Amino acid sequence: MDTGMLSFTFLGTGAPPVSARRAGPAHLVEAAGQLVLVDCGSRVAHQLAEAGKPAAAIDALIVTHLHSDHIVDFYQLVISSWHQGRDRPWRVIAPEPALKAMKAQYAAFDDERRLRIAFEKRPSARGLEVVFEVLEPGPLSGFGDLSVNAFLVDHHPVAPAFGLAFASDASRLVFSGDTRPCAALEEAASGADLLVCEVYVDSQMPIVSGVRSAETVAAVRSYHMVPSEIARLANLSGAKAVALTHVVPPSADTQAVLAEIRAAGYPGPVMVGEDLATLVLPARMLRWRGLAASF
Ligand SMILES: [Zn+2]
Ligand SMILES: [Zn+2]
């Protein structure tokens, strides 16, 4: 990829609900020679392979918070990267509660891993090693000319939960993580070239007996971003473009989502992400399957 570009790939635009269209939360940032994976939801290793970015090549994994949909395929990611010839340890940066769960996931397979290493006799077992680091608010080091900043968002009762800001050359991209509206996100997104924001489409979440009650819808809605809140954030922040992900429900009518955002008063560029779509800055190009478009 060309120097000076910052590219963002939606690997999984879904959430916990199972969907053939939307894999679990995972996104890939590529800039300044760094390949950074954000979250490792269900099917992440397959999506990376589909995107032509093998897990073996990833420089770091950053996890935003402890919710199972964001970490559930961690071990599969590690193993599949080893099978692709990974020969250096994983760098994993996550908030303490997520680290605890990921370490437990890794430890659950200690015996299995020992057997594999002994039996498969691959050239190196280094790719199976993991260096865990605690994610704290502020700038992250070790990303060369890619600047990575973590900021606290509000996903209470899940805490800490982080959003991330990536900057390379003149391009700045802000990723909301999972959050309700909060001042920190507004501030981080201020003037961003691209704001990637989660969305919870409450208008398309009917009450279903035995599945979700009115209380469920209200509770889940309360720690996510509904379209009108995204419109408000987009206007307040002055972000130059907005892309949505973590789409709940995954089957949401995307045109209706955009219509809601328009109706709430945001007139700027906005799109709903799809798995394996890539956005490129500063060119503001969208690539998805055979499609290339500007935004
Ligand atoms: Zn989530
Ligand atoms: Zn969450």
Q: Which one of 39, 59, 69, 193 is the catalytic residue?
A: 69
> 69 catalytic, yes or no?
yes
CATH number, residue 150: 3.60.15.10
> Alpha-carbon distance 48 to 25, whole Å?
12
Write the pLDDT tens digit of every residue in 120-165.
999 999 999 999 999 999 999 999 999 999 999 999 999 999 999 9
Identify whether 17 is preceded by a cis peptide bond (ω within 30 of 0).
no
**pLDDT mean across residues, the chain:** 97
- Residue 120 CA, ligand 2 centroid: distance in Å: 37
Give domain status of residue 218, yes or no.
Answer: no
Give domain status of residue 214, yes or no.
Answer: no
pLDDT score recorded for residue 3:
72
Confidence of residue 211 (pLDDT cuts 50, 70, 90): very high
Confidence of residue 252 (pLDDT cuts 50, 70, 90): very high
Give domain status of residue 225, yes or no.
Answer: no
Residue 28's DSSP bridge partners are 9, 37
Contact indicator for 85, 117 with CB cutoff of 8 Å: no
Give domain status of residue 118, yes or no.
Answer: yes
Question: In the chain, what is the greatest distance between 2 CA atoms, to the nearest angstrom?
Answer: 61
Contact indicator for 283, 2 with CB cutoff of 8 Å: no
- Residue 154 CA, ligand 2 centroid: distance in Å: 10
- Would you call 159 helix, strand, or coil by DSSP? strand
CA 237 to chain centre: 20
Proximal ligand: closest to the CA of 159: 2
pLDDT score recorded for residue 219:
92
Looking at the structure of the chain, the number of domains it has is: 1
Proximal ligand: closest to the CA of 247: 1
- Residue 8 CA, ligand 1 centroid: distance in Å: 18
- Residue 242 CA, ligand 1 centroid: distance in Å: 19
Confidence of residue 278 (pLDDT cuts 50, 70, 90): very high
Give domain status of residue 66, yes or no.
Answer: yes
Residue 98 backbone phi and psi in degrees, to 5: -70, -40
Q: In what order do the strands lie in the sheet with 171-175?
A: 138-140, 147-155, 158-168, 171-175, 194-200, 242-248, 270-272
